[in-house]
Amino acid sequence: MTNLARTPKQIGAVIQRTRKNLGWSQSDLAERAGLRQATISTIERGESPARIDTLLSVLGALDLEFRIETRSKWTQQEIEHPA
């Protein structure tokens, strides 16, 4: 499945959705990514931008990858509430 995110809040929502689909707690994800649970919480809330190496650790733990592509024409509503 492809998820689109352009803001820290949207990235956090994708991470949270994926984590919950796996049945993991924030602590489970933190342990797998080598981070603190509080860091996962901050990322999922999109409160402040995460360092790229931290984000890559989280994505790797979730078996997700980071891609850079040409920007699509999707609206913010379509990104935050995929069909």
pLDDT tens digit sequence for 52-78: 999 999 999 999 998 888 877 766 666
Is residue 3 scored above 70 in pLDDT? Answer: yes
Measured distance CA(2)–CA(4) in Å, rounded: 7
pTM for the full predicted model = 0.82
Q: Give the separation between CA 42 and CA 15, rounded to whole angstroms.
A: 11
Cα distances from 52 to residues 26, 49, 63, in angstroms, run 19, 9, 16
